[in-house]
Chains A and B, each alone.
Chain A
Amino acid sequence: MSGGVLRNSTEEVPVVQKGDSVLSVQDLRTVFHTQDGLVHAVNGISFTLAPGELLGVVGESGSGKSVSMMSLLKLLPMPPAEIVEGSVHFGGRDLLQLSDAELRQLRGGDIGFIFQDPMTSLNPVFNIGFQIMEPLRIHMGMNKKQAADRAVELLELVGIPSARQRLRDFPHQFSGGMRQRVMIAIALACDPKVLIADEPTTALDVTVQAQIIELVKGLRQKLGMAIVWITHDLGVVAGIADKVAVMYGGQIVEYSDVASIYSDPRHPYTQALLRTLPTQEGGRTGRLVSIPGQAPNLNAPPAACSFAPRCEHVGPKCWAANPPLFDIHGQHSSACWLESEGGTA
């Protein structure tokens, strides 16, 4: 089994063979304690990631993409955040049960992170040499000299010219794209098995975006790590992902290999999302398409389909219960009552 298996929480979770996946998430739930009560940001997501696989996680702002991935290594501020349920299996251990010290060994070691805004993600008062060498010295026990050599290697790997001289440069002396390359170098420093990229190209302009995507593609072939790529750009996903998870209201509503998502989108939200993509053919076509309505309010756990208020196929079932993920074929599943037996909503 090379692909992913996933279910929404309401259904039984199939036993995952640990040997096949590098990362396996079951029924993860994260809430935020706020002054207005609980916000249910992640509502029972499950997925597995095979070694070397690139999973694209797509969804609009507030759909829980980032929060769910930050939850894996408890990188959220706690409080207010709290992981109330679920398990995250990595290397035979449940990450959510680990102590802080054990978690720290994984962060930046076996699991690397790249964040959205390279302008603010690097510490402005330390030179980038220090910042790249930090994980090397923590996780690989390198001395200063070894770490510096490895840092030069990494900078060359991510395509920064005259790397040795640049070790002493500070973040403000790099352009946005170059800073993101530095961030990637930091994330890759200790040969991670999994790389989590949280909208790594969103803050960059389009040509730089393309460079970074090409870079990650190349690095993935060279280094063979599994990647979770969070984005709201379906175009980016089409270019690089093996599998796609579409998120809405803190749940995965559709999961599929990348081809099927575009050729055979099943969930009404995915369909709507794809319709909003502007086309390159023909002339200007008036206004851009949008999905009517608002993103769901997450102040209660979903009791009904959270897309129901905006859905054009909505039926009585949708208001009665939250649909689980239904298998369509192979590795394609969709959390919509239209996929249930009988096929009506």
Chain B
Amino acid sequence: MLNYTIRRLILAVPTMLFISFVIFAIIKLSPSDPTAGLPLTIPPEVREKIREALGFNEPFIVQFFLWLKQLVVTEPLYWMNQKFGTEFEIGQRMISYQTRSPVLDLIVQRIPQTLWVVGTSYIVGIIIAVPLGIISAYKQYSVFDQIGTFISMIGFSVPTFFTGVLLILIFSVNLGWFPSIYDTTHVVDSWGSFWYQIKQMIMPVMVLGLFNAAQISRYMRASMLDNLTQDYVRTARAKGVKEQTVVLVHVLRNSMIPVVTVIALNLPSVFGGALITEQVFQVNGLGQLLILAIQGGDVPMVQTVTVIFAVLIVLFNLIADVLYGMLDPRIRYD
């Protein structure tokens, strides 16, 4: 398993290179000028100087490798200098066109918000979905199953920008229970502020959580139904195993195999889905950073955030495969 993981990690390197190249190419080919956002009072020759300083006159492929060098050499060295007090020679850090501050610093600032909201919502989604799927399958066509199916269908088919706005309308505007805007400057230092943090997280987390739960619970239910009718379930019952153990040990372990794959593979795409939810609730996380960067033609920022998403996708693919092998003894990679 370890060998397999290492091999996969090494194989991921060319994949990542290729992905980042394609992303770079797409962004470069788009008709956007990073100096377009600058005040019109700047004379053309200064403008040209700025373009030159940003490396825009270099050949395309050189620009790509310069960016790559900044991402995989300069930034890690800078980080080590900061962390361990080493004194590596570092070049120019990657600078955002829009804010003139280092791209990675901005990303690091934004990650906690996204992780809090998106991470919590995913966990909430799984906590709701797994039991829901198990009970729905075990009591197939019962009232519980019908209601669960109905709610799943709603969560699945209604987009998050709609449920988000709907929740804001009901709970913020009409009832006034929760704030409609997520305040990232809020500091938790007392029970009162902790309570406020919970209140401001509830709506974005529920919106994303419902969407995730809807999807995962359908997979969970289908997988459980598949396994409940298998011969080995009858064998377990014929051994005198308690019904609870039959379902939660024998059947669940088998049913989790495809579901764990779905959970792991979906996780990166949740960051994409969070883009919209972050926008609705004004959570200034990664998603919002990306949207603003796209609007401002901030090439290094768009590129780096997108590549981070790509890294997550490749990484969670690997995690899914490894988990798959751990859950299913028929699949061993050695």
Contact = CB atoms under 8 A, between A and B. Distances in A.
Q: Do A and B come from one complex?
A: yes
B250 interface: yes
A125 B249 CA distance: 10
Interface in B230-265: 230-232, 234-243, 250, 253-254, 257
Contacts of B238: 73, 75, 107-108, 112-113, 115
Contacts of A321: none
Interface residues of B, number: 21
A99 B327 CA distance: 35
Interface string A97-111: 000100011111100
A125 B239 contact: no
Contacts of A73: 238
A104 B329 contact: no
A242 interface: no
Nearest to B253: A125
Contacts of A91: none
A113 B257 CA distance: 28
Contacts of A276: none
B329 A172 contact: yes
B243 A100 contact: yes
Interface of chain B, helix or strand or loop or mixed? helix
A186 interface: yes
B234 A172 contact: no
A127 B253 CA distance: 13
Contact of B240 (A125, A139, A172): A139
Interface residues of A, number: 29
A122 B232 CA distance: 5
A138 B234 contact: no
A122 B257 CA distance: 17
A135 interface: yes
A120 interface: yes
A123 B236 contact: yes
Contact of B239 (A120, A127, A138, A172): A138
A100 B243 CA distance: 9
B235 A107 contact: no
Contacts of B7: none
Contact of A120 (B232, B237, B242, B330): B232
A225 interface: no
A124 interface: yes
- Counting chain A CB atoms within 10 Å of each CB, the highest count among B239, B250, B257 belongs to B239
Nearest to A124: B330
A138 B238 CA distance: 12
B48 interface: no
Contact of A135 (B239, B254, B257): B239
Contacts of A135: 239-241
A60 interface: no
B328 interface: yes
A20 interface: no
Given A123-B250, A124-B328, A125-B328, A115 B239 contact: no
B144 to A, nearest CB: 16
Contacts of A146: none
Contacts of A139: 240
B241 A138 contact: yes
9 contacts: A105-B240, A115-B234, A115-B238, A120-B230, A122-B235, A123-B236, A123-B253, A170-B329, A186-B235
